Structure 1
Amino acid sequence: GKDPKIIEPLVPVDLVVDHSVQVDFAGSEDAMDKNLDMEFTRNRERYQFLKWGMQAFDTFKVVPPGIGIVHQVNLEYLACGVLSDADDIHYPDTLVGTDSHTTMINGLGIVGWGVGGIEAEAGMLGQPVYFLTPDVVGVCLEGTLREGVTATDLALTVTEILREAKVVGKFVEFYGEGARQLPLTDRATIANMAPEYGATMGFFPIDAETVNYLRATGRDEVHCATYENYYRAQGLFGIPAKGEIDYSMNLTLDLGTIRPSVAGPRRPQDRIEVPNLGGKFAELFSQPVDEGGFGRDGSELAGVSADVPVQNNGTESLGHGDVVIAAITSCTNTSNPSVMLAAGLLAKRAVERGLKLAPLVKASLAPGSRVVSDYLEKTGLQPYLDQLGFNLVGYGCTTCIGNSGPLDGEVEKAILDN
């Protein structure tokens, strides 16, 4: 019965509900609507409370489920880059978020990282965030990415290199001509992975590309001009060239050496280049668990399989290493148009060649924002994804955080039995 204004947040707070929606339904045109209906039914009391909070506080806003993943929504919509107070004094935008991948905003030149819930609540109520002055590791990027190599491949390689360099608790800043020519969405992909390479931040300084991104994502022209003029006046505009900054430690990476890769089966820094994937899986299958393997008998790899009933259509064989979940999701990947358009083009080629989804695979498409759906529709690629079974299931983290929903009962039984 007390006045909620006594705990009014002293800084702007945005609560983006992205960790809740689950893929209970997939492979149909109405999958997203069904998943959202299930979400609101399952968590009705939670949303009633959040609605009260929006009405009670002036500085608290809620982005409901079905809109996107917080880091992508922040990048495309929420982040300002520069702020001002009532006296028209301008200062840099900063951020703490209750998710480790908050660092994605470092790609936009904004200082921010993930914190625990109590620390975030203290910040909301005006308490400072304390941290020791960190070492700053400079990573000089040289050259350009080869055709067919994505920002995700680059991020996995950066993760592998920086894990070896032991950057835990340090700030990482990317600089050099290679960094300068990267599109902002590629920078955001690399910054997003800072928790995986262990750094507090993976920072890209502000430059013309940053201003262009703000403009392209609908920030008004007056704000974009203020943003650029402020950072120029502060001497903080532009990505440094090699030798301009004295970093605590320097590393160099030639972008031309990056190859298509996937994350390791247990840790993302255990990067595997795509041509080596089959052989590496066979090697890891019998490798001890404490050495990163699966600790199984090597003879089981080809020798153990199960015949799984497929609805009204006989059986399909399921063995070790077979894929049962194929999800296009995550803030790391779906925030990058080049990666998502590549997925759409691959789907188009697959449909044109008569390929179909394997019967035992649960497929889903859960982008980080509705912007992705807009350009997949405008380019005519969404229908091809739909034909393969990658229908839209929602906008949120879904499979990336384990919210992949149930497998077919027969598939689940075959896995548990073997």
Structure 2
Amino acid sequence: MTFKPQIKVPATYMRGGTSKGVFFNLTDLPEAAQVAGSARDNLLLRVIGSPDPYGKQTDGMGGATSSTSKTVILSKSDQPDHDVDYLFGQVAIDKPFVDFSGNCGNLTSAVGAFAISNGLVDSSRIPKNGIAVVRVWQANIKKSILVHVPISNGEVQETGDFELDGVTFPAAEVKLEFMDPADGDGALFPTGNLVDELEVPEFGVLKATMINAGIPTIFVNAQDIGYTGTELQDDINNDPQALAKLESIRAHGSVKMGLIKHISEATARQHTPKVAFVNKAKTYVASSGKEIHHDTIDFVVRAMSMGKLHHAMMGTAAVAIGAAAAINGTLVNAAAGGGQINEVNFGHPSGTLKVGAKAELIEGNWQVTKASMSRSARVLMEGVVRVPAVN
């Protein structure tokens, strides 16, 4: 029997925020994978090493967590006043599925650097020294993001002293601005309510804030589901019953938000929505061993990603947190103390994160005009990724 040799696909392995992913220039992909469809999905699955029934992604670039099972495809943008189109694919670990239903905020911080280094941004927009503002069209949710990339001697500056909880080493600060971040074309609050009553068989009726900002997110009070909001990964991820109950919240919330018609469809939409639980500020010890004192944060929040408690905080969920905190009457705003809030510093499993948002009540509807935060990014490896030929 004759086997075909592996193909070589130019790629860059990058960290963005607290995530890692394999980045591609669209034109470098095999021709069949340059358009949406099974050829693209099969290529991305094979690159990452999914589906893997062992859950390790040993035969691929994935890191066996939701934060490290990610792919990005970039191309020059045809959108007016934008530099680059950014398509994000969340690759399932144990299933043959690539979820394109939402954005990855963490990897957004690496999009600008990749775009500049790979000639996707016009040279006239890149200073010799200073900040290059890369205008990103987020193709998954059709929204604009501004990525502020530091430049030294005409090249992307990756090293620096900016520290990000959840990332071991400091790097250069990358500021992100999410413009009009309501996900897709839907309303900021798809049910029309700041707080809903969500029926979940395992819990009864829960109070929930369901918001489309950054990424569709369902917020519940930690104490209503038996938690404090100071839990670390092992407290949740080693408990199959807890994971099943949290997934039930996600499935029933998905129906209420209009993202799916029946809870059975939730398994085919793993990336969105997210589930997060909040509580007032509490002192706790982060996964790094550092004590986070309640006086230094506004509230605590824990978020689920692809069926597991995230080790830090997803960038898109941070946008949702900032947006919800800015609107008086949501559960997040109440956890932060209530009232008018434009910026919050919240505690997550790895430490703290600051995020800002501007919200306005326009003709009876809440709108978030901008959300902002700082992350960091750097190239880990570049060259080619090798994969067996796929159809």
**TM > 0.5 fold call:** no
**How does the TM-score come out when normalised to structure 2?**
0.28
Greater C-alpha radius of gyration:
1
